[in-house]
Amino acid sequence: MRDNSFDRTIERNYIQKWRFLIAEYEAVKEGRSPQFRRVGDFYRHHGTCSQTFRKYYNRYLQSGD
């Protein structure tokens, strides 16, 4: 039986999701998003709150990726 304690699939999926959201968030902030006019619309559509999103967004910025 395979040892799944070191399987990073879930982590990779979360990273992929947040990177997509970050790219979309930056487009909204720059006014380039055809789907969202305001950041609040973005948060509501994706079912997240601003505090949670900003926490991960700031971690992303600090990581330098």
Locate the domains of the chain by residue range: 35-65
**Structure-block tokens of residue 17:** 């999701």
**Structure-block tokens of residue 30:** 């720059």
Contact between 28 and 36 under an 8 Å Cβ cutoff? The reply is yes
Residue-by-residue pLDDT tens, the chain, 65 positions? 677 777 788 888 888 888 999 999 999 999 999 999 999 999 999 999 999 999 989 988 998 86
The residues, any chain, with a CB within 8 Å of residue 25's CB and separated by 6 or more, are 39, 42, 53, 57
| pTM of the predicted structure, to 2 decimals | 0.77
Residue 1: predicted pLDDT: 66
Which residue's structure tokens are 């790219």?
23
The residues, any chain, with a CB within 8 Å of residue 51's CB and separated by 6 or more, are none
